[in-house]
Chain A
Amino acid sequence: MTSLLANFRRWQFWLTLIGLIALVIYPNVASSYLISLLTEVFVFAIFAMSLDLLLGYSGLSSFGHAAFFGLGGYILGFVARNWTANMFITLPIVLIGSALGALIIGFFALRTSGLSFLMFTLAASQMFFGIAIKWTAVTGGSDGLSGIPRPTIGVGDTVYRFGTGFQFYFVALIFFLIAFWLMRQLVHSPFGRALIGIKSNEARMKALGYNTWRYKMMAFTLAGVFAGLSGYLFAYFNRHVSPETFYWTTSGQVMIMVIIGGAGSLTGPALGAVLVRLLPSYVSSYTERWHAIMGLVFILFVLFAPQGIIGLLKKVGRVSNSPNEP
């Protein structure tokens, strides 16, 4: 008997195709509330996968990934309110802005490793939060920036405006697919393999002649860019950006998505995003204490299933396979 996973791979193409068609049909049959729910899932899936690049592939435990999520949102808010909401202009600005932010933070953060790295990134994101609260003239203080216009695309006078939630759903879907594909290519490339090598044994990679610092810096910057992209979409989606996007609970939430889903698999964190963003809309109608429940579920995974949902699935596949193994 072939394992569940091998079967899955054979049917992967068809599954993907069916999934894509379902995602395109979905907004035509779902209510506007359900459409916005899934839009949010796409945005957070990008965010979670970007953290997975660090946590799961490079072994860099960043506890302040919200820094770049917030940065992307605030840059968009500032540009869109003061200049234009045209994505041809806002997208490059946000990508370059988050890359610069990640380069600067990474330059200092990567002087440390392990737990100091974790503490530094957490502190850095809280500094962004503090600045967002206090520097009212630019960031709008604790109110944030509201009234962000809907995104447009186009050149000159021919401009298309994504004016409804239905239309923005497709924007988010396309960005999600592109980001997923790009990150997948990345982790399967020689560059990604080298990152995995650095994660498991940095000294050996150094001895093999790899400039590990440069690899980690690249990974940190790319993760920052993808996180910035998700923050950018989130700000367009809400038409508002608030200091909470920088707050440790945002970093915490995305960390929970990665760990519950299963670090080092990209699909896992995306699944984690589905779970963490969809569940509260069902659970919180019963209980106010969603954060505590999320924290509890998270702790249970850390204690009993550190490989996450993907790890559990693999285990199931292996168990059903084991009687035939020599």
Chain B
Amino acid sequence: MPLDILVIQLLNGLVFSLLLFLMAAGLSLILGLMDVVNLAHGGFYLFGGYIGLTMIRWFGSFWLALLIAPLVAGALGLLLQVWFLRRLQSRHLDQVLFTFGLALIAADMLRWYWGAYVESVPPPPELDGSVLIMGRQFPVYRLSLIFFGAIVGVALMVLLDYTRIGAIVRAGVSDSELVSGLGINIDWVFVGVFVLGTALAALAGVAAGPITNLYPGLDFEILILALVVVVIGGLGTLRGALLGSILVGMTETLGKAFIPEFSLFVIFALMALVLLVRPRGLLGQKEA
């Protein structure tokens, strides 16, 4: 295989990995902290993407879309958490079932409003065009996504590792009862993490729009990959989510390029292999 094609595919893989990381980070933190698999997470991703698309159509600005979509999704996440999920707090399976029903409603509503066709999202004009990498064209937008993803990722790690809030969240992941015993209102920590997670999913939805396009079914496609990331990386850890994202993102991209029929199977085999060696995930400390 020629080297230039491999390099281009590796770059594509990196772009996809970082987008996955934005999705999986929220999913993993919510899971680690609240013991809830948010199955509507993919719905938030697609919802964010569609809101972004509408903002671009209304106001003609990609950057405004990138700002507004996470805010709208975050607000929706806030309402859901405060009104419903909190009521089911001690019933974890019911919480998951709730998000499952939500995902079903979301999928139908999104199809209703935005239609069943593939919608393409224009990249911002400032980042349109392409650069030459090893003699091949590579879109500027994809390249800038690598930087964008890296910046958001670093910001998240700093937030979680070096701030007081981050310390509370990390403590909550290992033992939420102990944290509330220390006089910290764990309910608001839950709300904050849930809102942050849904906002990140919507952010990823907008950012990924110009690459993946938007269509019904994308919500679950991306959710499944994010779940695999969390299972592989271990839940409740950002570093695990990053490692898992890179493994899954690279496997998915390279698999699609070279063995399209079985790319999903390869990912599944990867997940099965990790479960054989480390049932808690590569960097996981906690049993789900």
Which A residues contact B (CB, under 8 angstroms)? 61, 63, 108, 111-120, 122-124, 126-127, 130-131, 134-136, 248-249, 252, 255-256, 259, 288-289, 291-292, 294-296, 298-299, 302-303, 306
7 A–B pairs (Cβ distance < 8 Å), ordered by A: A122-B224, A126-B264, A131-B262, A136-B261, A249-B104, A289-B112, A292-B108
Contact B275 A291 (CB under 8 A): no
Contacts of B268 on A, CB cut-off 8 Å? 123-124, 127
Q: In the complex, A302 Cα to B99 Cα: how many Å?
A: 10
- Of the listed stretches B48-56, B187-195, B227-235, chain A binds B227-235
Is there a chain A Cβ closer than 8 Å to B114's Cβ?
A: no
Is there a chain A Cβ closer than 8 Å to B214's Cβ?
A: no
Count of chain B residues with a beta carbon within 8 Å of a chain A beta carbon: 48
* Closest CB in chain B relative to A220 CB, distance in Å: 15
B109's nearest neighbour on chain A, judged by CB, is A292
Given contacts A127-B265, A131-B265, contact A289 B108 (CB under 8 A): yes
Please tell me which one of the listed residues A134, A248, A303 contacts residue B260 in the complex, with CB atoms under 8 A apart: A134
- B 222-258 contacts with A by CB, 8 A: 224, 227-228, 230-231, 235
A117's nearest neighbour on chain B, judged by CB, is B288
Q: In the complex, A115 Cα to B92 Cα: how many Å?
A: 9
Q: In the complex, A299 Cα to B100 Cα: how many Å?
A: 9
Contact B231 A123 (CB under 8 A): yes
What are the nearest 9 A-B pairs in CB distance? A130-B264, A295-B104, A115-B288, A295-B105, A299-B101, A292-B108, A291-B108, A116-B288, A127-B268
Contact B101 A302 (CB under 8 A): yes
Contacts of A292 on B, CB cut-off 8 Å? 104-105, 108-109, 112
Is there a chain A Cβ closer than 8 Å to B272's Cβ?
A: yes
A-B CB contacts (within 8 Å), total count: 129
Given contacts A120-B231, A289-B112, contact A108 B275 (CB under 8 A): yes
Select the residue from B91, B102, B224, B260 with max chain A CB neighbours within 10 A: B224
- B 34-53 contacts with A by CB, 8 A: 35-37, 39
Is there a chain A Cβ closer than 8 Å to B132's Cβ?
A: no
Contact A115 B108 (CB under 8 A): no
- B 88-138 contacts with A by CB, 8 A: 88, 91-94, 96-98, 100-105, 107-109, 112
* Closest CB in chain B relative to A249 CB, distance in Å: 7
Which B residues contact A (CB, under 8 angstroms)? 31, 35-37, 39, 84, 87-88, 91-94, 96-98, 100-105, 107-109, 112, 220, 224, 227-228, 230-231, 235, 260-265, 267-268, 271-272, 275-276, 279, 281, 287-288
Contact B112 A123 (CB under 8 A): no
Q: In the complex, A292 Cα to B102 Cα: how many Å?
A: 9
Contacts of B84 on A, CB cut-off 8 Å? 303
Given contacts A123-B268, A292-B105, A303-B87, contact A111 B279 (CB under 8 A): yes
* Closest CB in chain B relative to A134 CB, distance in Å: 5
Q: In the complex, A14 Cα to B124 Cα: how many Å?
A: 72
Contact A120 B109 (CB under 8 A): no
Contact B235 A116 (CB under 8 A): yes
For the complex, would chain B's binding face be called helix, strand, loop or mixed by DSSP majority?
A: helix
B284's nearest neighbour on chain A, judged by CB, is A116
Contacts of A127 on B, CB cut-off 8 Å? 264-265, 267-268
Contact A303 B275 (CB under 8 A): no
Q: In the complex, A113 Cα to B287 Cα: how many Å?
A: 8
Contacts of B220 on A, CB cut-off 8 Å? 126, 248
* Closest CB in chain B relative to A120 CB, distance in Å: 6
Contacts of B101 on A, CB cut-off 8 Å? 256, 295-296, 298-299, 302
Contact B276 A111 (CB under 8 A): yes
